[in-house]
């Protein structure tokens, strides 16, 4: 990756952003915003990445289970479900800013009576996903007086992706299926397209074995048998604890699974879970983990 490429993409992608807070309001908010709440997982990750601890977030347990890092500090209150946060509690907290996903805005517009809303567009659209997440990080930084931190994290993301790509140069050209197994052992969520996972693979120079359709978030539900489309590919799956243990138990008894070339030849790799709709921090984790896992396994299994 050429130095500065992501920054140039970020500038292009910025024109596609349609914030609910007007530019004139941003300067005032940046000077005073310290009391922030988050109503979706991605805004929570972005805020924590910048070193700002939210007063409260929606569905605290879900963030801990699906995102995990950056770690959520103790004492951050739980506002309840993503689509039905506790409005009375919000009024008590008296936030200065409410961060949410754009998909939540139509049903949560009423909360603007409590504090200004900043809806963030989760899906990248035509902008490369990593660059889009850098755009969002800068946007959040601009209203929380963390522009310097946002710039440093953008630089860190670019450097990490470049370093990981270099570490993977000597790896074989084997394509990867990146997926998450369902507990039933029959279905799998496969990641591709311009979702965060798909774009990280692209930025690292890795071939995504999944060439089928995905949704706007870069994921599709498929049957296990569809992982046979590329018989030379390696399967990389996210370890989600108890769910994955149950999935592997069921897969071990599946004739379809055991017939897959990747399974027969030992080309199945587990890695710590990454939130596939996450931000810059998730992209950095994904790149680092691939760089750590794949070169090591190349010597053992090809």
Domain range annotation of the chain: 5-164, 170-301
Task: Put the strands of the sheet holding 176-181 in their side by side order.
Answer: 219-223, 187-191, 176-181, 234-239, 268-272
Both structure tokens of 185:
């052992």
CATH code of the domain made up of 170-301: 3.40.50.1980
| Topology match between the domains 5-164 and 170-301 | yes
Q: Is 9 exposed, middle or buried (0-12, 13-18, 19+ CB in 10 A)?
A: middle
pLDDT of residue 274: 94
pLDDT of residue 22: 45
Q: What does the alpha-carbon distance between residue 67 and residue 45 come to, in Å, rounded to a whole number?
A: 8
Q: Which structure tokens are listed for 231?
A: 């018989």
Which CATH fold would you assign to the domain 5-164? Rossmann fold (3.40.50)
pLDDT by residue for the chain (302 residues), tens only, comes to 444 434 333 332 332 232 344 444 444 444 445 799 999 999 999 999 999 999 999 999 999 999 999 999 999 999 999 999 999 999 999 999 999 999 999 999 999 999 999 999 998 888 999 999 999 999 999 999 999 999 999 999 999 999 999 999 877 678 999 999 999 999 999 999 999 999 999 999 999 999 999 998 899 999 999 999 999 999 999 999 999 999 999 999 999 999 999 999 999 999 999 999 999 999 999 999 999 998 554 444 44
pLDDT value of position 172: 60
Place of tokens 């592997």: 248
Angle between helical axes of 196-203 and 147-167 (0-180°, round to 10): 60
What pLDDT, on the 0 to 100 scale, is given for residue 1?
40
Token look-up 């450097």 returns 159
Residues in the chain: 302
Provide φ and ψ at 119, rounded to 5°.
-80, 135
What per-residue confidence (pLDDT) applies to 34? 72
Q: How far is CA 143 from each of CA 17, 168, 200, 296, rounded to the nearest angstrom?
A: 15, 37, 27, 42
Give this prediction's pTM.
Answer: 0.84
């Amino acid at each position: 990756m050429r130095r500065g490429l992501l920054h140039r993409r970020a500038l292009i992608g910025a024109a596609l952003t349609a914030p609910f807070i007007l530019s004139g309001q941003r300067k005032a908010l940046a000077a005073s915003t310290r009391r922030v709440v988050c109503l979706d997982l991605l805004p929570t990750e972005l805020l924590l990445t910048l070193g700002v601890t939210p007063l409260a977030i929606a569905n605290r347990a879900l963030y801990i289970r699906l995102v995990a890092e950056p770690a959520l500090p103790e004492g951050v209150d739980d506002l309840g479900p993503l689509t039905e946060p506790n409005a009375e509690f919000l009024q008590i907290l008296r936030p200065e800013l409410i961060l949410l996903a754009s998909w939540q805005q139509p049903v949560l517009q009423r909360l603007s009576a409590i504090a200004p809303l900043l809806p963030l567009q989760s899906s990248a659209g035509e902008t490369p996903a990593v660059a889009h997440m850098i755009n969002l990080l800068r946007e959040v930084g601009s209203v929380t007086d963390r522009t310097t931190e946002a710039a440093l994290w953008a630089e860190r993301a670019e450097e990490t992706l470049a370093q990981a790509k270099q570490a993977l140069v000597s790896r074989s050209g084997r394509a990867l299926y990146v997926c998450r197994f369902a507990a039933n052992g029959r279905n799998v969520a496969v990641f591709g397209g311009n979702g965060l996972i798909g774009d990280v693979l692209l930025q690292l120079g890795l071939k995504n074995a999944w060439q089928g359709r995905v949704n706007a978030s870069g994921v599709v539900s498929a049957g296990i048998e569809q992982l046979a489309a590329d018989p030379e590919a390696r399967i990389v799956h996210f370890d989600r604890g108890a769910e994955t243990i149950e999935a592997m138990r069921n897969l071990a008894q599946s004739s379809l699974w055991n017939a897959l070339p990747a399974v027969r030849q030992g080309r199945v790799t587990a890695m710590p879970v990454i939130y596939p709709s996450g931000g810059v921090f998730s992209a950095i984790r994904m790149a680092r983990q691939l760089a750590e896992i794949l070169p090591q396994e190349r010597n053992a299994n090809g």
